[in-house]
Amino acid sequence: GQQVMQIPQYQHVQEGEDFTTYCNSSTTLSNIQWYKQRPGGHPVFLIQLVKSGEVKKQKRLTFQFGEAKKNSSLHITATQTTDVGTYFCAGRGGATNKLIFGTGTLLAVQP
């Protein structure tokens, strides 16, 4: 069945360094969503990308959707301690058009 993988599984950075997480789908996606889960919290929706090659920014966060609509990335510039948490991508596609969550990337930021 459809799978969505994320790398890395875990990343530890010093505050101020950049961070990127990558999301890859086994099938073409109609759209992709990104969520953030703070420690002890629940996933919260960040953004949705729909178009091939689309790039969206939210302050220090940059989201990209690949040209083939099978991969996506989230880049954080100059990380802050408030960025800690697990970032999930979630792709919609395949025969069922269900939303499939990636495995998540846990970001730790050392002050």
Amino acid type, 3: Q
Choices 11-19, 38-46, 67-75, 77-85 (CB under 8 A): range interacting with other proteins: 38-46
Q: What CA–CA distance (Å, rounded) separates 23 from 18?
A: 17
Please check whether residue 63 is in contact with residue 56, taking contact to mean a CB–CB distance below 8 angstroms: yes
Q: Which residue has the tokens 């220090």?
A: 60
Q: Is the CB of 27 or the CB of 77 nearer to other proteins?
A: 27
When asked if residue 31 is in the footprint of other proteins (CB under 8 A), the reply is yes
| 69: DSSP letter | S
Q: Which residues pair with 26 in a beta bridge?
A: none
Structure tokens at 59: 């302050």
Choices 14-22, 33-41, 53-61, 65-73 (CB under 8 A): range interacting with other proteins: 33-41
Structure tokens at 21: 């997480």
Choices 31-39, 51-59, 60-68, 69-77 (CB under 8 A): range interacting with other proteins: 31-39
Q: Is the CB of 90 or the CB of 109 nearer to other proteins?
A: 90
Chain contacts with other proteins (rule: CB under 8 A):
1, 6, 9, 30-31, 33, 35, 41-45, 48, 50, 88, 90, 92, 98-104
